[in-house]
Homo-oligomer: A and B are copies of this chain.
Amino acid sequence: MIKKPYLLFVGDVQDAIYAKTAAGVKYWRPEQAAGQFRFPGGVDLGLPDYDMKAAVDAGLKTILIGVAPQGGKLPQNWLDFLMEGLKAGLDIASGLHVRLAEVPELKAAAEKYNRRIFDVRFPTQSFNVGTGAPREGKRLLTVGTDCAVGKMYAALALEKEMQSRGLKATFRATGQTGILIAGSGVSVDAVVSDFISGATEYLSPANSPDHWDILEGQGSLYHPAYAGVSLGLLHGAQADAIVVCHQAGRENVKGIEGYALPTLKDCIALNLQMGGRTNPNITCIGININTSSLSEDAAMDYLKKTEDELGLPCADPVRTGVGPIVDKLIKDKI
């Protein structure tokens, strides 16, 4: 468990769009985003600027790497900053491809000052294989027609909406950005494949009967590279409910030629068919569409048309909120 609140590190990134992780933490966990650190010219997230010493004095606990270095390599000024942070008494949390805990200077400094470095992309615990055994509590999994269609965003929006209705709901992160937002989780696609379902069972353990775990999905059952991860996640989640996510206008698997996306109807049917293996009561309670590429009118048309066609609430978490999906969850007593 990563200690909070965070000092969000945005480096010298000048455009908020490249500080997505930092912006995501600030948006979804504002109470944990207590400060920012940026080099001259770096983007302003609207948080207090701290240097290391001031951050510690203000009670901040962990430097959260909120941007990726250009070219993947760690620049010297990042390294200097991180060393200074460890020395001042801060931990580090990172979702980068490079393992910060194995950068010799950082490793030595963390040992010397007794600090922790969390490389959340790489699970450190070992998991058991899945048991398939039913467990108490309810689980909702966001699934998708493709990668990068808003599954994490949907899960966070559902958690927030459910909590605002007084329901017990906990977001369960399965990817690095989600883990940094939640402060814990399992990067499921980095788990050894024998343990995908087992890791998912670990991530969403038995809970009180009226508690919902809201699991962030990964990939898609239709994705030629990642479907195995998606299926392991679906089986391990033993989902009571799924919400299917899609981006308006996307017709093909992103970055892979020759693979048309399924229709939403087919995607729902296949997820229910496969998910039914570990939870025969699985049901689809709604559709989330990223309509950011559409005008307001076109977006509302799209949502209405999809809703009529499928007979399920259809929302855009940003444009409309996910209220109608939570309405259905409550009304249907799932």
Contact = CB atoms under 8 A, between A and B. Distances in A.
A233 B225 CA distance: 10
B193 A225 contact: no
Interface stretch (A29-37, A71-79, A125-133, A149-157): A125-133
A227 B193 contact: no
Interface string A212-238: 000000000110111111111101000
B193 A130 contact: no
Contact of A193 (B131, B134, B232, B258): B232
A328 interface: no
A294 interface: no
Contacts of A131: 224-225, 256
Nearest to A257: B133
A191 interface: yes
Nearest to A225: B130
A132 B225 contact: yes
Contact of A229 (B133, B193, B224, B274): B193
Nearest to A129: B225
Interface residues of A, number: 37
Given A222-B277, A228-B230, 17 more contacts: A129-B226, A130-B224, A130-B226, A131-B256, A132-B225, A188-B193, A189-B192, A189-B193, A190-B194, A192-B192, A221-B231, A224-B277, A224-B278, A227-B231, A229-B232, A231-B231, A259-B277
20 contacts: A130-B226, A131-B224, A132-B259, A133-B257, A133-B258, A188-B193, A190-B193, A191-B193, A193-B228, A194-B225, A194-B229, A197-B226, A197-B228, A221-B274, A224-B235, A224-B278, A227-B235, A227-B277, A228-B228, A228-B230
Interface of A: 129-134, 188-194, 196-198, 221-222, 224-233, 235, 253, 256-259, 274, 277-278
Closest 5 CB pairs of A and B: A228-B232, A132-B224, A130-B225, A189-B194, A228-B228
